[in-house]
Chain A
Amino acid sequence: MRLVLNSEKGAVNTTLDQLKPGQKAEILHIDGVDGIASRLREMGFVRGELVKFLRTAPFGGPVKCAIHGSRIAVRGGEAQRISVQLLG
């Protein structure tokens, strides 16, 4: 499942949890077919959407990001399943 095709030159492919506050990225895909993956997709983490990393909670807690004009917090483990392409 974890095959990320990097067609564009110089584009950095990573996962959502690896971003730094303020960075923007485009969503590529989500790993897995379980309930968590479906929930993330329903919440708008679908291919082509823009996501902005906002911050991490204390003690290595969830990460907060902006997507579809709303602020969503997901746990690190879940953020790791969201492959993104770093923008700018």
Chain B
Amino acid sequence: MTSISNAGIGSTRVALVGNPNTGKSTLFNALAGLSVRTGNYPGVTIEKKIGRCFIPGACVIDLVDLPGTYSLAPRSPDELVAVEVLTDKANREPPVELIICVVNALMLQRNLFLVSQLLELGKPVIVVLNMMDSARSRGVMVDVEKLSESLGVPVVPTSATKREGLDLLRTEIAELLNDSSKKTQRVHILPEAFYDTRDQFRQAIQNKLNDSPESLAANQDSKTKIHGELQDYLNEDYFVERMLLDRGGASELRLVETLGNFGKELLGQWRDTLANRVGDATDMECNARYDWAKQKLSGIVLGGADSGDSLTDRIDSVLTHRIWGMISFILIMFFVFQSIYTVASWPMDQIDAATGYLSELVINQMGPGMLRSLITDGVIAGVGGVLIFLPQIALLFLFLAVLEDCGYIARASFLVDRLMSLFGLSGKSFLPMMSSFACAIPGVMATRVIENRRDRFATIMVAPLMSCSARLPVYLLLISAFIPDDGLLGGWLSLPALVLMSMYAVGVLVAIPVSLILKWTILRGETAPFVLELPEYKVPAARVVLTRVWEASLAFVLRAGTLIFAATILIWFAGYWPGDHTRELEIERSLESAQLTEQESETATQELRAIKTDLLERSLLGKMGHTIEPVVAPLGWDWKIGVGAIASFPAREVIIATLGTIYSLDGDEDEEGLIGAIRSSTHPDGTPVYTVPVALSIMVFFALCAQCVSTLIVIQKETNSWSWPVLSFSYMTILAYLAAMLTFQIGTRFF
């Protein structure tokens, strides 16, 4: 145990665990405030969330928020981390001195399942009886003192949303941390025959390890390390128990990794023995734990009859109805997306105006030159181009946080699960996919709600195929330039709208086979169970919602902003260098000095355009464009479009600015000017560059390509590996190229 003296320096680790929907996040936020740091555990994708809290009379504690779980039976490497943290087996993680388990006062019996497993770890446990306010209002009375006596650990009643009971909890934490004699005994909840079998099984492995280390499955070099890891596991009763109990679980995997077939045989043998002694292991475990919970709760919970027609059930009879539910679902989604576009447009215009003003300010303050070009064309245009999406992202997260916290997202997942199974995914993938229509970044971040790793990764891989708001300007530019405004179906549908809708549909239709192929190949495995709890509806907690919005916005600005910033400077540099910009600067200077007549200024502007085009052709970017021309020719593109596509690698909408620059316009001119320029653009032989098939081919390319560095970076962060963003980029680029070629080649047969 940590004493006060050293706790002040290193601070004490306290873990926060609990079932989903127990108000654990609210409690975490209430205790930790804004001191929360997030990161990843090495090698896995679960988020590491730590908040620092000051406990009066004791010390500073680092509160680790572990993902909500119903049980401590790890089935994936991700779930294993939570158990490793709790048992001090996690790599480079400080030991956990105390476990706080949050339980929902309304569902005590089921919540005690997790508590029963925590008590077996032999660490001090505090049970936080949360949601006492809603229990009270439902007429459920819990005898807290009796419960504490019955469980043998402190029980603290709280209402995290109302911030009630927090002081009592802090006092209890201080008391437990200061008094090492309160260390909890390991409780035996399962039949004694099970624990005997466990010890015999452990002895059998231990004998094997001691007698013949050469039987280890691994090669000589890593043997010692793996041997040590398994030894570590064997020393922890809980892991040995999980090996016997969880078929195909993460601790079984660890054993088989180390001992190979021998481990498998040994395990099979001892599981048979166990079955002979106590019956089927999982059945035995779950029944024993529920019986234990029932016994512990007898005479402790009073009232709270069948919740047959609570308010939640009445709301649900509409919102999960097969007809009314679907209609309200569509209306809610429509409202969210409509609001994102309409409400966000004002702040977006302001950001746009601010960047314009800023670059004007720089232009007025500085003479023409390389530094000015870097600041205005590179930094301000680049960073401004990213920040402009911040309002949409913040709004989207606001809506998502509200919908999730009030309990609606679970209903939406329930309603669309069947639909999502077309993708080989479950209803839980719906939210990330839907968010990706606004922006793939929050979409990818939202996959954290999917606890199954394979489903989560498949969703991350296909979410960027949904047409995000950054593709919209590209579609709009090309559609308004080349698609005639004809009415279809007697004027009910316009051709441009149909083309726009088709672009959105392309992404969705392609996502189906991609996701299915992923689930059949690299993400193949046991189907994820779709077991979803539909929580009580509640008024969303402002604190939770605003924290979510703040975290998401900050992450977006920090993660994506820094990278886009660097990438834009690179693109700017490639378009600027090498080349002699003296003449360009001379003209710009004379134009800005405003001493010219209208006639002179016209000629100067024209010369400036010619020089700019010439400089661009000679630049690194121009040379690259000419090099790749043969590659993009089958798509119907000329080198300028090719360069545009390369330049838009940081973000799709960059192509508009790039094409603007390329077509000798300065970026500030409106889209009408660019539309005119691309309409009249010709090949050297005089034929027009842009035809309808070319425009369609560009749109299809942008619908499917992965031209968005921020998304790739977020994928890297969320998957904790570089191979996923690389895969994402490669498959999407290949797909985009092939589809664009197909579009052009088929299109030219028709137009």
Contacts and interface: CB of A to CB of B under 8 A. Distances in A.
Interface of A: 29-30, 33-44, 46-47, 49, 52, 54-62, 64, 66, 68-75, 78
A70 B110 contact: yes
B109 A68 contact: yes
A42 B75 contact: no
A64 B414 contact: yes
Contact of B282 (A33, A52, A69): A33
B531 A73 contact: yes
Nearest to A55: B320
Interface stretch (B172-180, B283-291, B339-347, B385-393): B283-291
Contacts of A68: 107, 109-110
Given A35-B248, A46-B287, A57-B418, A72 B526 contact: no
A61 B415 contact: yes
Given A69-B107, A72-B533, A72-B534, A33 B414 contact: no
A47 B290 CA distance: 10
B328 to A, nearest CB: 12
Given A57-B320, A57-B415, A69-B107, A41 B533 contact: no
A42 B198 CA distance: 21
Contacts of A49: 290
13 contacts: A34-B526, A36-B527, A40-B531, A41-B282, A43-B531, A57-B418, A59-B418, A62-B417, A64-B534, A69-B304, A70-B107, A70-B534, A73-B534
Contacts of B313: 54
Assign chain B's interface to a size class.
35 or more
A38 B414 contact: no
A82 B684 CA distance: 72
A55 B321 CA distance: 8
Contacts of A55: 320-322
Contacts of B419: 59, 61
B320 A40 contact: no
A29 B545 CA distance: 40
Return the 7 tightest CB-CB contacts between A and B, nearest first. Answer: A61-B418, A41-B286, A36-B529, A71-B534, A42-B71, A59-B418, A58-B322
Contacts of A36: 526-527, 529, 531
Contacts of B286: 38, 41-42, 46
A44 B529 contact: no
Nearest to A36: B529
Nearest to A50: B306
A75 to B, nearest CB: 5
Interface in B332-357: none
A71 B531 contact: no
A78 B418 CA distance: 14
B283 A35 contact: no
A44 to B, nearest CB: 5
B440 interface: no
Interface of B: 21, 70-71, 73, 75, 106-107, 109-110, 113, 246-249, 280, 282-283, 285-287, 290, 304, 306-308, 312-313, 316, 320-323, 325-326, 410, 414-419, 427, 526-527, 529-535
Given A42-B113, A68-B109, A69-B107, A60 B418 contact: yes
Contacts of B415: 57-58, 61
A66 B306 CA distance: 10
Contacts of A57: 320, 322, 414-415, 417-418
A39 B419 CA distance: 23
B320 A64 contact: yes
A58 B248 contact: no
Given A56-B322, A64-B534, A33 B418 contact: no
Provide the main secondary structure of the chain A interface.
mixed
A34 B107 contact: no
Contacts of A73: 410, 414, 417, 530-534
Give the interface centre of A55, A57, A75 by most chain B CB atoms within 10 Å: A57
Nearest to B113: A42
A23 B321 CA distance: 17
Contacts of A56: 322
Given A40-B531, A69-B107, A70-B107, A58 B280 contact: no
B194 to A, nearest CB: 16
Contacts of A41: 282-283, 285-286
Contacts of A43: 70, 110, 531, 533
A39 B531 CA distance: 8
B455 to A, nearest CB: 13
Contacts of B248: 34-35
A73 B320 CA distance: 11
B120 to A, nearest CB: 15
A56 B322 CA distance: 8
Given A33-B280, A46-B287, A46-B290, A38 B246 contact: yes
B285, B323, B325, B529 interface centre (most CB from chain A within 10 Å): B529
Nearest to A1: B280
Nearest to A74: B531
A18 to B, nearest CB: 18
Contacts of A29: 283
Nearest to B104: A70
Given A41-B283, A64-B414, A35 B533 contact: no
Contacts of B290: 44, 46, 49
Nearest to B317: A55
Given A69-B106, A78-B531, A37 B417 contact: no
B529 A40 contact: yes
Nearest to B534: A71
B520 to A, nearest CB: 18
B391 to A, nearest CB: 34
A60 B106 CA distance: 30
Contacts of A59: 418-419
Given A38-B247, A69-B304, 6 more contacts: A39-B529, A41-B285, A44-B110, A61-B418, A62-B414, A75-B529
A54 B307 CA distance: 12
A38 B74 CA distance: 11
Most buried by A among B247, B283, B285, B531: B531
B530 A75 contact: yes
A44 B71 CA distance: 11
Contacts of B280: 33
Nearest to B326: A58
A42 B530 contact: no
Contacts of A66: 307-308
Contacts of B532: 62, 72-74
Contacts of B304: 69
Nearest to B138: A69
Contacts of B530: 62, 73-75, 78
A52 B427 CA distance: 22
Nearest to B249: A35
A36 B313 CA distance: 27
B474 to A, nearest CB: 34
B73 A38 contact: yes
